[in-house]
Amino acid sequence: MKRMLSMLLALGLLVAPLANAQSQPLRMAVTVGMIADVAENVGGECVDVTAMMGPGVDPHLYQASASDVTLLRQAELILYSGYSLEGQLGQVLERFGQTKPTVAVAPSSIDPGQLITVQDIYGIDPHLWMDVSLWSQIVPTIADHIIKQRPDCQSTIRDNAQRYRARLEALHGWVRQAVNTIPEAQRILVTAHDAFNYYSRAYGIEVAGIQGISTETESGVADIREMADVVTERQVPAVFIESTINPRTVQAVIDAAKQQGQPVRIGGELFSDAMGEDGTAGGTYIGMLYENTRQIVTALGGTLPPLPDALSRWAGRWELTEAP
């Protein structure tokens, strides 16, 4: 009898920590804010999400620090984008994948037939979040992986995921409607690097990046001259800088175009590889696409339509109940 009691007590000591861990928010480490924000919207109070790369950080050039390794070791679930977006960090993440759940959300969620291939070291353009309809496909993937480790949260997470995808669907339609108001002749987006190809395909606007897909390559004089020729020929009224890239190449295009007699201005700063500051609308994934679209449409001569009802709660938080 005493032996059985001892066994039951020992079993209780083993089970209690496990049960306690299950009641705590799931510790998640993610690479970029565009994943972190989705995870927080889906997981709610069931998750504790930490993003490794904050506002203004270029994931193409990012290198893991000692604190990043500690974060990854302590995490119960690791999420990253994949398709080489995270550069050399991808090798570190692959090693962690041998010891704990580590998910490349883009390859795990999006059909290869929907990807844009490129002729460089990447092979695949990794900037999939620029098409909201594509990025929304990571929502069920993230939900499934959270539920695996926090099954008691299943009902809440499924409800959160459904509501969030409805907001993303509304955002996708709004962006398309907004871009369509730009006069067709001016529907060209000139940026520092090729981060907007998915935006182009989804929303019907031509894009031209001074650099290629990766920011690891530098723009040369020929690249700047060629882009200035495009700006002049198309009479582009505005070009755009990006929050993660030095604006000098864009300014060089502006100067070269002016020498050819084409007045052009900076239309605004776009979020490309990172979201905006925490505590701002641009610091959310929905806000990232909203702010980018607002800058693009107004600078190129379009008119913003009202935000849809499905985004009213999000917009009210940032006092954006009507389009500016």
What does the alpha-carbon distance between residue 204 and residue 102 come to, in Å, rounded to a whole number?
35
* Residue 76, domain member (yes or no): yes
pLDDT for 284:
98
> Do 167 and 286 belong together in one domain?
no
| Neighbouring residues of 85: CB distance < 8 A, sequence distance ≥ 6 | 31, 32, 59, 60, 106, 126, 127, 273
Of 143, 172, 201, the domain-final residue: 172
> Do 25 and 164 belong together in one domain?
yes
Which residues of the chain are modeled with pLDDT < 50? 4-5, 7-16, 18, 213-216, 323-324
> Do 194 and 264 belong together in one domain?
yes
> Do 194 and 104 belong together in one domain?
no
Q: For residue 50, list its beta bridge partners.
A: 29
> Do 149 and 244 belong together in one domain?
no
pLDDT for 2:
52
* Residue 92, domain member (yes or no): yes
pLDDT for 218:
54
> Do 106 and 195 belong together in one domain?
no
pLDDT for 221:
74
> Do 192 and 254 belong together in one domain?
yes
> Do 136 and 232 belong together in one domain?
no
* Residue 322, domain member (yes or no): no
Total domain count, the chain: 2
pLDDT for 1:
52
* Residue 177, domain member (yes or no): no
Convert the pLDDT of each residue in 220-253 to its tens digit.
677 788 889 988 999 999 999 887 677 788 888 8
> Do 153 and 283 belong together in one domain?
no
* Residue 324, domain member (yes or no): no
Of 147, 172, 197, the domain-final residue: 172
> Do 143 and 238 belong together in one domain?
no
* Residue 72, domain member (yes or no): yes
- The tokens describing 94, both together, are 């692959």
pLDDT for 9:
44
Expressed as residue numbers, the domain containing 7 is: 2-172
> Do 217 and 280 belong together in one domain?
yes
Convert the pLDDT of each residue in 253-273 to its tens digit.
889 999 999 999 999 999 999
What does the alpha-carbon distance between residue 17 and residue 23 come to, in Å, rounded to a whole number?
10
Of 154, 172, 190, the domain-final residue: 172
pTM, 2 dp: 0.89
> Do 12 and 152 belong together in one domain?
yes
- Look up the CATH number of the domain holding residue 242: 3.40.50.1980
* 8 A C-beta contact, residue 56 and residue 275: no
